[in-house]
Amino acid sequence: METLHYLLMKSHSVMQRHIFTEAQKIGLTSGQPKILDYLHKHEGSDQKTIATYCEIEPATLGSILLRMEHKGLIERRQENGNRRSLFVYLTENGKEVCEKIHDIFSQKDEQAIEGLTAVEIENLKKTLTKICENLDGKE
């Protein structure tokens, strides 16, 4: 049997490839689907928070957001006179694309868990969460 790190890495790569193939069909580039997903749940977040949650370097996030802004998916604005931080919001177009990407995520999730029981799925989620916690706490 393969090592844990290889299986985790391969699972991530395969899922990303499948999602990216579908995301390209609706005009999204790499990194944009997870940002849309995050903003769907946390609209009005600042860029630093988005970068941390999405595991993206702040400079990389800035360029991704700029492309998203040009496509009319998001808007960035200052709030409460805070000139140091920009807060990111979905546009109406961004919300529509977000619904499409959620459909893609759901389809790929269903494909990934095919043949697993509800208990296996719950255990997998708990295990993956614990692995993330272990690794984040050890950096």
* pLDDT cut 70: percent of the chain above it: 97
* Domain architecture of the chain: domains with CATH: 4-137 (1.10.10.10)
SS3 assignment, position 25: helix
Mean pLDDT of 104-118: 97
pTM value?
Answer: 0.85
The pLDDT tens digits of the residues spanning 55-64 come to 999 999 999 9
Q: What is the 3-state secondary structure (H, E, C) of 20-71?
A: HHHHHHCCCCCCHHHHHHHHHHCCCEEHHHHHHHHCCCHHHHHHHHHHHHHC
The pLDDT tens digits of the residues spanning 19-53 come to 999 999 999 999 999 999 999 999 999 999 999 99
CA angle at 108 for the pair 136 and 28, rounded to the nearest 5° = 80
- Helices (DSSP H) in 71-114: which residue ranges? 92-112
Measured from the Cβ of residue 2, the count of other Cβ atoms closer than 10 Å reads 9
Q: How confident is the model at residue 81 (pLDDT cuts 50, 70, 90)?
A: confident
